[in-house]
């Protein structure tokens, strides 16, 4: 009887370990090969305001993972403007994967959160329709200790996307990682690139 209880306990412990491992594993992505293109699509946080082009996170990420990462960041862009611009980028670059980081300018301009969520949903759907995969990056609200709005995580769950919702929040709360109140500096963008490289590996896009 004691041996049976021990076996049952070990089985339960193993099942619990597998469950915890699965919970820590992000949604999986198709593998991005060395000749595939990744597009970083966003606003000034993608463009790299506060640092040089070579210090922006797309350039650093490309070096870290050995892939072409196109910087398609436009400073000041809203989600509505991004939705309009997206088809040309998809047609021109034909990416295998898109890193989506938009919404900060909507918040700065106090636009309706439901409209921002709707625009991001349409952007994700358009990227998916093109045959590319999506990684979603959350942008913190421009208020103290607020973090990204909940709609980012909601969209990530809805579309089963790998989601990085902490790194820009962390960067913009850490003075040594910022160039100003709403932008990272070179050190901050490097941290973003490192976190995204880790997420891409965990999601199976990069070995």
Distance CA 15, CA 10 (A): 9
pLDDT at 7: 45
Does residue 13 surpass a pLDDT of 90? no
pTM (two decimals): 0.88
Q: Which domains are delineated in the chain?
A: 2-202 (3.40.50.1110)
pLDDT value for 17: 40
Q: What is the pLDDT of residues 21-72, one digit of tens each?
A: 345 789 999 999 999 999 999 999 999 999 999 999 999 999 999 999 999 9
Give yes or no for a contact between 126 and 134, defined as CB atoms under 8 angstroms apart: no
Please report the pLDDT score of residue 8 as a whole number: 52
Q: How many other C-beta atoms can be found within 10 angstroms of the C-beta atom of residue 131? A: 11
Buried b (16+ CB within 10 A) or exposed e, 41-59: bbbbbbbbbbbeeebbbbb
């Amino acid at each position: 009887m004691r041996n049976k209880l021990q076996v049952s306990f070990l089985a339960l412990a193993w099942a619990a370990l597998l469950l915890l491992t699965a919970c820590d594993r992000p949604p999986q992505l198709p593998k991005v090969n060395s000749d595939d293109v990744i597009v970083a699509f966003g606003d000034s946080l993608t463009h790299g305001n506060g640092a040089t082009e070579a210090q922006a996170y797309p350039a650093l990420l490309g070096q870290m993972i050995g892939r072409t990462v196109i910087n398609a960041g436009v400073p000041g862009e809203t989600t509505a403007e991004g939705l309009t611009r997206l088809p040309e980028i998809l047609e021109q670059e034909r990416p295998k994967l898109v890193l989506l980081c938009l919404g900060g300018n909507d918040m700065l301009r106090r636009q309706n959160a439901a409209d921002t969520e709707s625009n991001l949903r349409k952007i994700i759907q358009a990227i998916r329709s093109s045959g590319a995969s999506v990684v979603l990056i959350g942008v913190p609200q421009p208020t103290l200790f607020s973090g990204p709005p909940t709609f980012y995580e909601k969209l990530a769950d809805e579309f089963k996307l790998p989601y990085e919702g902490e790194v820009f929040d962390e960067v913009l709360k850490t003075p040594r990682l910022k160039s100003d109140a709403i932008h990272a500096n070179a050190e901050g963008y490097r941290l973003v690139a490192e976190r995204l490289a880790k997420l891409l590996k965990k999601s199976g896009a990069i070995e």
